Amino acid sequence: MTGGPPVDAADAVDVVVIGAGLAGLTAATELAATGRQVQVVEALDRVGGRTASHHRYGQALDAGGSYLGVRHLRVRELAARFGLALTPTAAPGANLYDLGAGLLRSDAGRPAFNALAVGDALDRLDDLAATVPPADPATAEHAAEWDQLTVAAWAHRELRHPDARLLVDLLVRQMLAADPADVSLLHLLFYLASGGGVHYLTAFAGGAQQDRFVGGAHQLAERMAAALTRPVRHGAEVTDLYAVPSAGRPGARPGHGPVRVVGPGLSVLGTHVVVAVPPGPANRIRLHLPSVHRPAQPARTRGATVKLHLIYERPFWREAGLSGWVTARTGPLRYVVDDSAGRDGLGVLVGFVTGPDASRYAAGSGAARRVALLDRLAGWFGPTARQPLAVLERDWQAESTVEGCYAAVPEPGWWTAAGPPWPTTAADGPVRWAGTERCAQFYGHLEGAVRSGQETARRIIAADPVRAPAAQ
């Protein structure tokens, strides 16, 4: 099918990138560097996608993606290229554990977990993950069984010690922002294999949470966008992609005619189109291109997250020898970390409400949420915790252009039914798909988004090495 509203010649470019998150802007940056005309269109009034910041008391606080690991080399290279500094996340002091048997400190005589049981469980997960090829998890020897088996069911069957089962439950809620009863074992193992293993993924110092951006992760997207020749077009929601006949256009290849990108008040033509939005929003874009097939995308795309920031006059918990980090057995708030480094003396706690806890938390009134939140923090850190300068929330479930965080969590059975959601051939037509869910390495991380954007740009350049502006 062809059609759509007319397009002005000024709106004909080499590449249209849909989505101004890290994947889309990375692809745009790489393509623009080759001399191609690139137009990025974004539904929101900001860039950054799943990176965003609160600004309070002279500080930029990451409301979305924030952490960089020591193996996240592509993001680190981009940060250096655009002049962004990083700071370590590690905080001094003892961690707290609220696991139902009284509040425990990591420096206490009694450990929070049975070390032998949880060590064995983590090693078993890493050993199983090592058998799953990240490029195509469905080819693992036991993929069919593991894709139908939820993590909760596997833990109940295979892990005898209650501490081991509890730790796996907490890990899934923390890493995937989902209930272990809703996640297939295959998806968890893929995620571990993709990201570097359970020990690396759960570590701060030396691990996947080693550093954060000074001034906020959103700056990377902002600086990439500012460097583009064509400004990002904001408020440009894309609803349809139309094929445009290519007959008579010099160098046109069969089935590779220009694509008209259409939305309310939007009509732009591109020789290539990069769809760099999360799976849920991407599924809503209607395709009117006979030669283009939508790639595999989960039917259920949500990890659910509400990210909290509490700002205090000082990091008072350190006076009691605490790091500010808490792990709790029950929700809604199960995870708290210290984010005070480089904050000019302010104390900042970051809390994560995930999975079904996030849905229940968001459904309550703002006043009730605040009271319950401060009550819980006071139980951990004492009465001073009831006196924050500010309490900030970001409910990523309510973001229609994202549909949750941190990344898509497919339903059990999806991997073996659908196959990998990233391109497996070089010549995949005029429309390509990018994003952290489109990367076999570091799926769900900033690094995965950047790698996906770079790989998408590379494929476009390889398929069309001579710059050929779109023609109407």
The model's confidence at residue 288, banded by pLDDT at 50, 70 and 90, is: very high
Average pLDDT, the chain: 92
Supply the pLDDT for residue 296. Answer: 80
- Our measurement of the distance from residue 442's CA atom to the centroid of its chain's CA atoms, rounded to an integer in Å, reads 10
CATH of 9-49+219-292+429-463, picked from 3.50.50.60, 2.40.240.10, 3.90.209.20, 3.90.870.10, is 3.50.50.60
Residue 122 has pLDDT above 50, yes or no: yes
Over residues 390-399, the pLDDT tens digits come to 999 999 999 8
Supply the pLDDT for residue 142. Answer: 98
What are the structural domain ranges in the chain?
A: 9-49+219-292+429-463, 115-197
The model's confidence at residue 5, banded by pLDDT at 50, 70 and 90, is: low
Residue 443 has pLDDT above 90, yes or no: yes
**pTM reported for the whole predicted model:** 0.94
Where helices occur in 19-86 by DSSP H, the ranges are 22-32, 73-81
What percent of the chain has pLDDT above 70? 92
Burial of 321 (0-12, 13-18, 19+ CB in 10 A): exposed
Average pLDDT over residues 441-470: 88
Residue 421 has pLDDT above 70, yes or no: yes
Highest mean pLDDT among 35-49, 355-369, 397-411: 35-49
The model's confidence at residue 9, banded by pLDDT at 50, 70 and 90, is: low
Supply the pLDDT for residue 419. Answer: 86
The model's confidence at residue 465, banded by pLDDT at 50, 70 and 90, is: confident
Supply the pLDDT for residue 248. Answer: 44
Over residues 61-116, the pLDDT tens digits come to 999 999 999 999 999 999 999 999 999 998 999 999 999 888 999 998 888 999 99
Supply the pLDDT for residue 90. Answer: 85
Over residues 226-241, the pLDDT tens digits come to 999 999 999 999 999 9
Report the b/e string of 207-244 with b at 16+ CB within 10 A.
Answer: bbbbbbbeebbbbbbbbbbeebeeebbeebbbebbbbb
The dihedral formed by the CA atoms of 401, 406, 411 and 415, expressed in degrees to the nearest 10:
100
Over residues 180-222, the pLDDT tens digits come to 999 999 999 999 999 999 999 999 999 999 999 999 999 999 9
With CA atoms as reference, report the closest residue to 223 among 390, 422, 433, 78.
78
For residues 429 and 208, what is the distance between their CA atoms, to the nearest angstrom? 35
Residue 301 has pLDDT above 70, yes or no: no
Average pLDDT over residues 365-375: 94
The CA distances from residue 462 to 30, 272, 290, in Å, are 13, 13, 23
Residues 6+ apart with CB under 8 A from 313: 346, 347, 389
Sign of CA dihedral 276, 278, 279, 281: negative
Where helices occur in 274-365 by DSSP H, the ranges are 279-284, 356-363
The lowest-confidence range among 156-170, 400-414, 421-435, 445-459 is: 421-435
Residue 410 has pLDDT above 50, yes or no: yes
The CA distances from residue 349 to 68, 128, 361, in Å, are 18, 34, 18
Q: Which tokens is 299 given?
A: 């039917």
Q: Would you say 22 and 439 are in contact if contact means Cβ atoms under 8 Å apart?
A: no
Average pLDDT over residues 417-445: 87
Q: Which tokens is 267 given?
A: 């009509």
Supply the pLDDT for residue 427. Answer: 52
Supply the pLDDT for residue 405. Answer: 85
What percent of the chain has pLDDT above 90? 83
Fold of the 115-197 domain? Guanine Nucleotide Dissociation Inhibitor; domain 1 (1.10.405)
Supply the pLDDT for residue 379. Answer: 97
Supply the pLDDT for residue 207. Answer: 95
Question: For residue 399, how many other CB atoms are within 10 A of its CB?
Answer: 18
- For tokens 């080693």, name the residue: 210
Please report how many Cα atoms fall inside a 13 Å half-sphere around the Cα of residue 359, on the Cβ side.
Answer: 10
Over residues 310-339, the pLDDT tens digits come to 999 999 999 999 999 999 999 999 999 999
Average pLDDT over residues 281-306: 84
What string of DSSP letters covers 443-464? TTSHHHHHHHHHHHHHHHHHH-
Supply the pLDDT for residue 400. Answer: 87
Supply the pLDDT for residue 250. Answer: 45
Supply the pLDDT for residue 295. Answer: 81
Average pLDDT over residues 28-53: 97
